[in-house]
Structure 1
Amino acid sequence: MNIDEPALNETSLDTQLKGAHLALDGGDVQTGRELSHKVLKAAQTLGNKRFEAKALLCLAHCDRMLSRYRRAHRASQLAAQGFQLLGDTPGEVLALATHAFVALNLGRNEEAVEAALLSVRLSEFLDNDEHSVLSYNALGAAYFWSHHFDKAEQALRTAIQIAEHASPPLSTFQPQINQWWAQVIRIFHERYYEGGLPSLALMRMHREAVMRQVVREDASEFPMGTNVTTEAVLLFGASLDACWHGQLDQAADDLVALTGWAQRYGTLTWLSALEAWAGAEIAWARRDWPGATQHAAKMIEIAVTVEHEQLACLGHLLASQLFMAQGLHGRALDELRRLRLREQLIRSDCLETRENVVDWQIDLRLRQQSIDRLELTSRQLEKLSLEDALTGIPNRRDFERYASELLQRGLEQGQPPCLALVDVDKFKLINDNFSHQVGDAVLKRIAQILKSHVREDDMAARLGGDEFVIIFKTTDLKVAQQVCQRICDAVRAFDWSSISPQLESSLSVGVVRAEPGDTVASLTHRSDTAMYDEKKTRR
Structure 2
Amino acid sequence: MNNDDRSRAEVQLDALLKRAHAALDQGDVKTGRELSHQALKAALALESKRFEAKALLCLAHCDRMLSRYRRAHRASQRAAQAFQLLGDTSGEVMALSTHAYVAVNLGRNEEAVEAALLSVRLSEFVENAEHSVLSYNALGVAYFWSRNFDKAEQALQTALQIAEQTTPKLDTFQPRINQWWNQIIRIFHERFDEGPLPSLALMRVLRESVMQGHHHNQTASLTPNVTTEAVLMFAASLDHCWHGQLEPAKAAAIKLSRWAQGYGTLTWLVALEAWIRAEIAWADQNWPVAHEQAAKMIEIAVTVEHEQLACLGHMLASQLFEAQGASARALDELRRLRQREQLIRSDCLESREHVINWQMDLRLRQRSIALLELTSRQLEKLSLEDSLTGIPNRRSFERYADDLLRLGKERGQMPCMALIDVDQFKQINDRFSHQVGDEVLKRIAKILKAHVREDDMAARLGGDEFVIVFKTADLDIAQQVCQRIGDTVRQFDWSALSPGLQSSISVGVARAEQQDTVETLTHRSDTAMYLKKKTRLNAAHTLH
Taking structure 2 as the reference length, the TM-score comes to: 0.65
**Contact 2:141–2:178, Cα closer than 8 Å, also in 1:** yes
Question: How far does the alpha carbon of each residue in 1:156-199 deviate from its partner, in whole angstroms, 9 at most, with x for none?
Answer: 00000101111211111111100000000000000011100000
Structure 2 residue identity aligned to 1:135: S
Counterpart of 2:191 in structure 1 is: 191
Question: How far does the alpha carbon of each residue in 1:475-523 deviate from its partner, in whole angstroms, 9 at most, with x for none?
Answer: xxxxxxxxxxxxxxxxxxxxxxxxxxxxxxxxxxxxxxxxxxxxxxxxx
**Residues 282 and 159 of structure 1: is their aligned pair in 2 closer, same or farther, counting only changes over 3 Å?**
same
Structure 1 residue identity aligned to 2:45: T
Are residues 1:301 and 2:289 paired?
A: no
Mean Cα displacement is larger for which, 7-16 or 240-249?
7-16
Counterpart of 1:435 in structure 2 is: none
Distance 2:323 2:108 in 1: 30
**Residues 6 and 54 of structure 1: is their aligned pair in 2 closer, same or farther, counting only changes over 3 Å?**
same
1:15 to partner: Cα distance: 1.0
**Residues 92 and 213 of structure 1: is their aligned pair in 2 closer, same or farther, counting only changes over 3 Å?**
same
- Which of 321, 326, 337 is the matching residue for 2:335? 337
Counterpart of 2:242 in structure 1 is: 244
- Gap runs ≥5 in structure 1: 372-539
Secondary structure at 1:246 match in 2? coil
**Contact 1:8–1:42, Cα closer than 8 Å, also in 2:** no
1:362 to partner: Cα distance: 4.3
**Contact 1:7–1:42, Cα closer than 8 Å, also in 2:** no
Distance 2:77 2:8 in 1: 25
Counterpart of 2:523 in structure 1 is: none
1:353 to partner: Cα distance: 2.0
Counterpart of 1:352 in structure 2 is: 350
Structure 2 residue identity aligned to 1:189: H
- Which of 261, 265, 279 is the matching residue for 1:263? 261
Distance 1:236 1:290 in 2: 21
Distance 1:362 1:90 in 2: 23
1:281 to partner: Cα distance: 0.4
Counterpart of 1:280 in structure 2 is: 278
- Gap runs ≥5 in structure 2: 371-544
Counterpart of 1:328 in structure 2 is: 326
1:31-70 to 2 correspondences below 5 Å: 31-70=31-70
1:215 to partner: Cα distance: 1.4
Structure 1 residue identity aligned to 2:205: M
Structure 2 residue identity aligned to 1:330: A
Distance 1:70 1:224 in 2: 32
Counterpart of 1:9 in structure 2 is: 9
**Residues 288 and 359 of structure 1: is their aligned pair in 2 closer, same or farther, counting only changes over 3 Å?**
same
Counterpart of 1:227 in structure 2 is: 225
Are residues 1:253 and 2:234 paired?
A: no
Are residues 1:166 and 2:166 paired?
A: yes
1:6 to partner: Cα distance: 11
Structure 2 residue identity aligned to 1:285: A
Distance 2:56 2:7 in 1: 17
Counterpart of 1:84 in structure 2 is: 84
1:278-427 to 2 correspondences below 5 Å: 278-364=276-362, 367-368=365-366
1:11 to partner: Cα distance: 1.1
**Residues 81 and 330 of structure 1: is their aligned pair in 2 closer, same or farther, counting only changes over 3 Å?**
same
1:69-108 to 2 correspondences below 5 Å: 69-108=69-108
Structure 2 residue identity aligned to 1:98: T
Structure 2 residue identity aligned to 1:349: D
**Contact 1:84–1:364, Cα closer than 8 Å, also in 2:** no
Distance 1:356 1:339 in 2: 26
Secondary structure at 2:126 match in 1? coil
Structure 1 residue identity aligned to 2:276: A
Distance 1:40 1:8 in 2: 16
**Residues 261 and 182 of structure 1: is their aligned pair in 2 closer, same or farther, counting only changes over 3 Å?**
same
Distance 2:365 2:136 in 1: 27
Structure 1 residue identity aligned to 2:201: A
Distance 1:153 1:6 in 2: 47
**Contact 2:66–2:263, Cα closer than 8 Å, also in 1:** yes
Structure 1 residue identity aligned to 2:22: L
1:213 to partner: Cα distance: 0.7
Question: How far does the alpha carbon of each residue in 1:117-166 deviate from its partner, in whole angstroms, 9 at most, with x for none?
Answer: 00001001111000000000000000111111110000000000101111
**Residues 217 and 320 of structure 1: is their aligned pair in 2 closer, same or farther, counting only changes over 3 Å?**
same
**Residues 152 and 224 of structure 1: is their aligned pair in 2 closer, same or farther, counting only changes over 3 Å?**
farther
**Residues 77 and 8 of structure 1: is their aligned pair in 2 closer, same or farther, counting only changes over 3 Å?**
farther
Distance 2:109 2:270 in 1: 23
Question: How far does the alpha carbon of each residue in 1:333-390 deviate from its partner, in whole angstroms, 9 at most, with x for none?
Answer: 000000000000000111122122023234435645998xxxxxxxxxxxxxxxxxxx
Structure 2 residue identity aligned to 1:156: L
Distance 2:176 2:366 in 1: 37
Are residues 1:125 and 2:155 paired?
A: no
Distance 1:359 1:162 in 2: 36
Distance 2:162 2:130 in 1: 8
**Contact 2:218–2:224, Cα closer than 8 Å, also in 1:** no
Question: How far does the alpha carbon of each residue in 1:446-477 deviate from its partner, in whole angstroms, 9 at most, with x for none?
Answer: xxxxxxxxxxxxxxxxxxxxxxxxxxxxxxxx
Distance 2:296 2:287 in 1: 14
Distance 1:231 1:72 in 2: 22
Counterpart of 2:148 in structure 1 is: 148
Structure 2 residue identity aligned to 1:314: L
Distance 1:109 1:258 in 2: 28
1:225 to partner: Cα distance: 3.8
Distance 1:158 1:6 in 2: 43
| Aligned length in residues | 365
CA RMSD, 1 decimal: 1.7
Structure 2 residue identity aligned to 1:350: C
**Residues 133 and 364 of structure 1: is their aligned pair in 2 closer, same or farther, counting only changes over 3 Å?**
farther
Larger Rg: 2
Structure 2 residue identity aligned to 1:27: G
1:217 to partner: Cα distance: 2.7
**Contact 1:153–1:179, Cα closer than 8 Å, also in 2:** yes
Secondary structure at 2:197 match in 1? coil
Question: How far does the alpha carbon of each residue in 1:384-443 deviate from its partner, in whole angstroms, 9 at most, with x for none?
Answer: xxxxxxxxxxxxxxxxxxxxxxxxxxxxxxxxxxxxxxxxxxxxxxxxxxxxxxxxxxxx
